[in-house]
Amino acid sequence: MVSYSATGISVEGDGGVSNIQELVRFETANQDLAFLNGRVAVAIGTGEGPKLELTVYLVSS
């Protein structure tokens, strides 16, 4: 299990599709995923109604 927090912006575009940009941080006690602790990622994507599509890029080591 991984906990994450994200902050960013969502700007509504054409046809009700929102453009999303977020800064993401992770926290976990799972040893297999411990490499995520303290790391930062950028998430870029779109949202339309209940559908959210994000691509997450890990940017710090």
pLDDT in tens, 15-43: 889 999 999 999 999 999 999 998 999 99
Residue-level pLDDT at 14:
82
Residue-level pLDDT at 33:
94
Please identify which residue in the block is written with the tokens 């710090």. 60
Kindly state the average pLDDT of the residues 47-51: 91
Confidence band (pLDDT; 50, 70, 90) for 61?
low
CB-CB neighbours of 56 under 10 Å: 15
1 SS3 class: coil
d(Cα 11, Cα 25) in Å, to the nearest integer? 21
